[in-house]
Amino acid sequence: MTDELPGDATEVERATIEIEADGHSPRGGLITADGRRRAFAGWAELGAALEDWRAAARRRRFVEHATDGAIPRTKNERTVP
């Protein structure tokens, strides 16, 4: 069994990572494609920011896939979002 979602192999999510050059550990922000910014300070927070962004992208793709096209409600009823 795999936890892949439809389109996992071909869809690309984009984000920008801004890192301050000063200091020994990374400090900055992860900016998503829709302009949201998540600040981080240190390797653990950078990893958490990346993981949160990746998980949010997977949830968004799942919802988009689940609501794509007509959604059967009963045997005889279909709706289009």
> Is the full-model pTM beyond 0.85?
no
Query: Into how many domains does the chain fold?
Result: 1
Domain for residue 31, yes or no?
yes
pLDDT of residue 37: 96
Domain hosting residue 31, numbered range = 11-57
CA distance 11 to 62: 12
* Residue 25 forms part of a structural domain: yes
Among 14, 54, 20, 51, which residue's Cα sits nearest to residue 29? 20
**Averaged pLDDT score across all residues of the chain:** 79
Residue 40 inside a domain? The answer is: yes
Q: How many Å apart are CA 36 and CA 14, to the nearest integer?
A: 12
